[in-house]
């Protein structure tokens, strides 16, 4: 069964997220420990979280 345009767009959003995460990882070496902790805390409190999205996909 072919994918709908909406499914393809959603997969492209996931690709965009992956690019963003790679960019974040590439910057980590230049951040101070304090900056790293602040960024990590910001990610932890981001809504919706990656885990929440995965849970929504797997919910019955």
pLDDT value of position 45: 96
Query: Considering its fold, how many domains does the chain have in total?
Result: 1
47: tokens are 């809504």
pLDDT at 60: 74
C-alpha radius of gyration, the chain, whole number:
15
10-58 tens-digit pLDDT: 999 999 999 999 999 999 999 999 999 999 999 999 999 999 999 999 9
Helix, strand, coil share of the chain (percent; to 5):
80, 0, 20
Range of the domain at 19: 5-58
Rounded alpha-carbon distances, angstroms, from residue 9 to 15, 22, 51 = 10, 20, 20
């Amino acid at each position: 069964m072919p994918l709908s345009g909406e499914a393809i767009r959603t997969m492209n959003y996931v690709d965009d997220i992956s690019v963003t995460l790679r960019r974040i990882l590439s910057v980590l070496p230049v951040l101070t420990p304090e900056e790293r902790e602040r960024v990590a805390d910001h990610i932890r409190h981001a809504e919706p979280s990656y885990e929440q999205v995965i849970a929504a996909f797997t919910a019955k």
